[in-house]
Structure 1
Amino acid sequence: MWLDEVPAGAVNAANGSPLHSQVGAIIRSHIVNGQLPPGSQLPTEAELQERFSVSRSVVRQALAALSAEGLVQRGRGRGSVVSPRGEHHRLVQRMSGLSTQISAEGADVFTAVLALAPEQNAAASAALGGAEVVGIRRLRSAGTGPLAVIHTWLPLSIGAGLTAVELTDASLHTVLRSRLGVSFVSGRRQVRAVAATEGLAKLLQISVGEPLLLLEGTSLDEHGVPIEMFSTWHRADRVVFDLDVVDADAPAIAPDLAHADGRVTRPQLAAHAADLARQLHELSVELDRND
């Protein structure tokens, strides 16, 4: 049992953190890392009390906090079990942001603006072509609670007119597209695992040091001009990154040509080639007209 692997003295009143927070953090870490999968029965309050050498009230406070986070379900007569995962999935290779993708799942998304003001940030200024920048810090939540902290930098020319009111419970990309006609067309993304700092832990309602998924990147407009740099810290227990995978050596086949088993017939390929040839011919005629 996972409880037997918890070292003696793991909960210690001398470390400055409340005992119930320490107990909750240990149970939470086992849920997050998969040792306690959804539906798992937790030890009884008496077993937890004995293993951690704490009072029954401490155990109950810890379980109540985990229940409030949605990680544990408690029921009279059946003990406590690990809740089904309240995960949200994000396709990181897509330009659409977390708000748009979660909304597409049918979940309610909430965004609080924590800060919106010009900033001195050498890295952001360099990434955005040496421009003065506006920094926007937001907290994004869904039905399960806080999901991510987002820090975005925009050129002053784009971000100066934005207000906290219009960005509250809204997608930044949607606001910029509708108000200023700004299009996010391409960019580069990178993902790394980091530990929650004290500030991030407080906003995301987790313990200091818990794992976060940090997504960083820049976005370009249709002219290849950088218009956004961002860092987004996601709760690793509530957000899953999905990736579409393709074989780089495989021939590119239009999705609508393939059968369910991936086969493509010769007549389909011939029709597709003919359609491409027609489109190229029409394009060349159009270009001749514009010369």
Structure 2
Amino acid sequence: MAGTDIPDAAGTPLDAGSSEPLHLQLRGHLRAQILNHSLPPGTALPSEAQLQVRYGVSRSVVRQALGALADEGLIERGRGRGSTVAPRQEHHRLVHRTTGLSAQIAGTGANVGTEVLSLTVQDADASTAVLGTPQVLALERLRTADGVPIAVIHTWLPTPTFAELAAEDLHDASLHAVLGEKFGVQITSGKRQIRAVPGDRDLLRLLQLEASSPVLLLEGTSFDQDGRPVEVFSTWHHPDHVVFDIDIQREPSPSAPTGSLPVSQGSSPVSPADPAPDAMADRARRLGTELLRFANQLSDSGS
């Protein structure tokens, strides 16, 4: 299969005078285009000889770069058939639903694992004041899918409501499921925000990401069946393995009474302050652009 022309996303050739080895520069150049879908899954890469000419490097440099991409699972290499971009190992999260990441991914057949990193009692602060208790239960977890780290989750719960919650309750388990089974609490509504943020050293280590990698942060507050706030959370997602999906619905008819929104059977009323579906869709579309811009800024600042 003939190789595909590679768009020159960086706009500059490899820098032979840089302290960064050429094979890492080439790997980073190709990797960025795979991750931003300039080179979508199934795309045939140019041959080793073509890459040599395109970037003005030796065959050993090209082979080292392609070998590193293959080790990451980003490309597939085969004798006599060149290299192609590998299928993405993505897990999709419906952020407009109250079901958590664990339940959604487990529903696709993936093997979901949860490691409790810490469970402590802390004084409430401005970010957890909505829970209405002077102290909160602070929970930190690492979530994996098929053995690959995909999210680091920090959750704050009101005490003494959940004082009996134990770390062993949450090993390889869904927090929402445990809250329902052990405390009779059902998560029925909430508010969510999505943004691209830099990852600190500990976070990047847990997610097995390179230095200066941006991550996808989902923050929110969840409410129970009686409308009481029961959790505040921040979840940092691996940007290569988790995709946020949003279902879009038509806006209410202009004939609907002022201030009212349609409510599906069995669902909770939507607060007028909550983002409309179109606004959420617009945020999701901007998120990808923001993430790529942020990654480029980090790369430039570290060069």
Instruction: Specify the TM-score bucket, using the shorter chain as the normaliser.
Output: 0.7 to 0.9
Give the secondary-structure state (helix, strand or coil) at the position aligned to 2:69: helix
On the 8 A contact 1:66/1:72 being kept in 2, the answer is yes
Counterpart position of 2:118: 115
Q: For the Cα contact (< 8 Å) 1:11–1:19, is it kept in 2? A: yes
Q: 2:13 aligns with which of 8, 13, 36?
A: 8
One-letter code of the match for 1:8? P
Do 2:190 and 2:222's aligned partners in 1 also have CA atoms closer than 8 Å? Answer: yes
Shift of 1:58: 5.6
Counterparts in 2 of 1:73-112, with a 5 A limit?
73-112=76-115
State the distance in 1 between where 2:138 and 2:73 align: 32
Q: Given that residues 11 and 52 in structure 1 are in contact (C-alpha distance below 8 angstroms), is that contact kept between their aligned partners in structure 2?
A: no
Query: Which amino acid in 2 is paired with 1:197?
Result: D
**SS across alignment from 1:26:** helix
Distance (Å, rounded) in 2 between the aligned partners of 1:67 and 1:143: 19
Could you say which residue in structure 1 is the equivalent of 2:281? none
- Contact between 2:151 and 2:236, CA under 8 Å: does it hold in 1? yes
Counterpart of 1:220 in structure 2 is: 223
- 2:250 is aligned to 247
Alignment-mate amino acid for residue 119 of structure 2: L
* Paired residues of 2:222 and 2:231 also in contact (CA < 8 A): yes
Q: CA-to-partner distance for each residue in 1:43-87, whole Å, 9 max, x for gaps?
A: 344555666676656654543443343322122222221111222
1:24 and 1:62 in contact (8 A); partners too: yes
Structure 2 letter corresponding to 1:100: A
SS at match of 2:226: coil
Supply the AA of the counterpart residue of 2:195: R
What is the DSSP-based 3-state SS (H/G/I as helix, E as strand, rest coil) of the residue aligned with 1:14?
coil
Deviation at 1:29, TM superposition (A): 1.6
| Uncovered stretches (5+) of structure 1, i.e. residues with no partner | 256-291
Retained in 1: the 8 A contact 2:113–2:147? no
Q: Distance in 1 between matches of 2:234 and 2:106?
A: 20
Residues 65, 166 of structure 1: alpha-carbon distance in 2 compared, 3 angstrom cutoff: farther
Could you list the per-position Cα deviations for residues 135-173 of structure 1 after superposition, in whole angstroms to 9, with x for gaps in the alignment? 222221213722211111112324433333331211111
Instruction: After TM superposition, give the deviation of residue 132 of structure 1 in Å.
Output: 0.9
In 1, Cα distance between equivalents of 2:155 and 2:44:
41
Distance 1:38 1:204 in 2: 23
How many residues were matched structurally? 253
Give the superposition deviation at 1:109: 1.1
The whole-number CA distance in structure 2 between the counterparts of 1:144 and 1:162 is 25
Give ranges in structure 2 of 5+ residues lacking alignment: 257-261, 266-303
Match of 2:234 among 228, 231, 235: 231
Contact 2:128 2:232 in 1 (8 A): no
Letter paired with 1:34? H
1:63 to 63, 66, 70: 66
Q: Which residue of 1 aligns with 2:38?
A: 35
Closer/same/farther in 2, CA of residues 214 and 247 from structure 1, 3 Å limit: same
C-alpha change, 1:70 and 1:254, in structure 2 (3 Å) is same
Q: For residues 130-169 of structure 1, what are the structure 2 equivalents within 5 Å?
A: 130-143=133-146, 145-169=148-172
- Matched residue, 1:175: 178
Q: CA deviation at 1:205?
A: 2.1
Alpha-carbon offset, residue 33 of structure 1:
0.9
- Counterparts of 1:248-263 in structure 2, within 5 Å, are 248-250=251-253
TM-score, length-scaled by structure 1: 0.74
Instruction: Read off the aligned partner of 1:244 and give its amino acid letter.
Output: D
Question: Is contact 1:69–1:144 with CA below 8 Å preserved after alignment?
Answer: no
Name the CA shift for 1:21/1:114 in 2 (closer, same or farther; >3 Å): farther
Which of the pair is proportionally richer in helix? 1
Partner-residue secondary structure (3-state), 1:179? helix
State the match for 2:189 in structure 1: 186
- Are the counterparts in 2 of residues 25 and 207 from structure 1 also a CA contact under 8 Å? no
Give 1:95's aligned amino acid. T
Q: What is the RMSD computed on CA atoms of the aligned residues?
A: 3.0
- The TM-score with structure 2 as length reference comes to 0.71
